[in-house]
Structure 1
């Protein structure tokens, strides 16, 4: 019998994974820092867990005995990672080391969520086998975490790389581009949006489905999971405006270089989804299909 432990269960992806497990009636343990913020997660299924504390992780795994661990917890604010390299290292790398060590002791599979930011964005449409070359502290931290798994002779792991996660859950700690763009356009704000960064926005429910599908099929290795279209950030905002029939006249295109962002972003990512489609039956939603469901 599978028993799946989710870290970062209060986050957008964590809540979506918990909701899908709950609706399937599967055995799981939701964990996170602090209180349970997901109204769909029964209190008895939630455990407070700090994944940066080795003894706490070790004793929790020994007691709860999960067969699979899905690690969605991470420091994902790319500019904040540049300011707090130690904090980024602790949550994105050291914690993965701790989780992997504890998972191996009980023979559990560890699934790590990673990012398109492990690539430099020179070519886009990346395959799982393409050579990473991160440009930021955040991207490097995620690649370092991947190496903990890929360089171990124990292969009981999977890595899911993804791009801009979109969706809505109760008690969200941060917004995402769809909700932000809709809100700003409704208020009639003048917006300056970059037209030289290209991403494939991903519906959180699709990503949660893929994470669980990998577990259900006992797959191992690296999987690229994202939306089906690679669009400029400018086009994403324009399409949100068009979908809700909002005035897009106040949107001005700008170049990334004018933003003075602390972290360097890859100009163009997007993934080749062939492996995910062939092996998992992955069929992601387009931007308009996501907006329909929001």
Structure 2
């Protein structure tokens, strides 16, 4: 192959705090093995990373800003980026955040989960203090294709058009599908008492990808129309 796309990762942010050996093995050692394979095959690697490499104190972030990971998962993702940098293999790192889309591989994604809960009349607790620009999975695929088309290396941020809190994102979904958004209850990240710290004021500036790759993210409303069609809602 000419390219190896690494979308594999141990992504359980909280369990990574206790299952450190597994998280390191998948997220760092796995990338080192792929780099060795890429060297043998003379292939390039496109590696999917995360906004979690930043601490979320002063986002949104550009590609060249200094990382400061908060938790162990975040540290493994930064380590995976560094493993590629020292490998000598040609590579592209795509940092993304809050991926969402239609369900795949039998898993229920965030949008479908929220729709199902609200349809069932269940209260859902959504954080009000985490800011991102959620990334539609088809836009990430678009970015991967653009990297290959333009033969680009380096780091690119891939995210959505709109910066908003997870709570606001949920309200938009509820409104679009005509569901009761009063069932969406505000909560702070601190109140969730999770094992791993989360970056709060985050999000990724995508100007570099838009300029160099011709990356064009969908609006949230456009993505929900696509999801509605794909899920036959």
- The interval holding the TM-score normalised by the smaller chain is over 0.9
Aligned counterpart, 1:208: 141
CA distance in 2, matches of 1:209, 1:269: 22
SS of the equivalent of 1:161 reads strand
Query: Is 1:284 matched up with 2:217?
Result: yes
Residue of structure 1 aligned with 2:118, choices 185, 188, 210: 185
TM-score w.r.t. the length of structure 1 is 0.75
Tell me which residue corresponds to 2:154: 221
* TM-score of the pair, normalised by structure 2: 0.94
2:133 pairs with 1:171: no
CA distance in structure 1 between the aligned counterparts of 2:125 and 2:104, rounded to whole angstroms: 29
Evaluate the alpha carbon distance shift between residue 210 and residue 85 of structure 1 in structure 2; reply closer, same or farther with a 3 A threshold. Answer: same
Contact (CA 8 Å) 1:227, 1:286: kept in 2 or not?
Answer: yes
Matched, 1:156 2:93: no
Structure 1 segment 36-75 matched on structure 2, within 5 A = 66-75=1-10
* Aligned pair partner of 2:68 in 133, 138, 146: 133
1:234 aligns with 2:167: yes
The separation in 2 between residues aligned to 1:69 and 1:214, in whole angstroms, is 12
Cα displacement string for residues 9-30 of structure 1 (whole angstroms, at most 9, x for unaligned residues): xxxxxxxxxxxxxxxxxxxxxx
Query: For the residues of structure 2 that align with 1:232 and 1:100, how far apart are their CA atoms?
Result: 36
- Residue in structure 2 matched with residue 117 of structure 1 by the alignment: 52
* Higher mean C-alpha displacement, 161-170 vs 142-151: 161-170
Matches within 5 A, 1:88-99: 88-99=23-34
Preserved contact between residue 165 and residue 176 of structure 1 (Cα < 8 Å): no
Q: SS of the counterpart of 2:57?
A: coil
Does the Cα contact within 8 Å between 1:155 and 1:220 map onto a contact in 2? no
Structure 1: where are the runs of 5+ without partners?
A: 1-65
Q: Which runs of 4+ in 1 moved over 6 A?
A: none
CA RMSD of aligned residues (A): 1.2
Mapped partners of 1:150, 1:171: distance in 2: 31
The higher-RCO structure (CA 8 Å, 6+ apart) is 2
Structure 1: distance between partners of 2:199 and 2:149: 33
Q: Where do 5+ consecutive residues of structure 2 fail to align?
A: 228-233
Do 1:120 and 1:132's aligned partners in 2 also have CA atoms closer than 8 Å?
A: yes
Q: Distance in 2 between matches of 1:166 and 1:251?
A: 18
Q: Write out per-residue CA displacement over residues 141-182 of structure 1, whole angstroms, 9 at most, x where no aligned residue.
A: 000000012234x25111000011111244234x33212111
Pairing 1:12-31 to 2, within 5 Å after superposition: none
| SS of residue paired to 1:111 | strand
Deviation at 1:247, TM superposition (A): 1.0
The 3-state SS of whatever aligns with 1:252 is strand
Please say which structure displays the higher CA radius of gyration: 1
Q: Count the aligned residue pairs.
A: 227
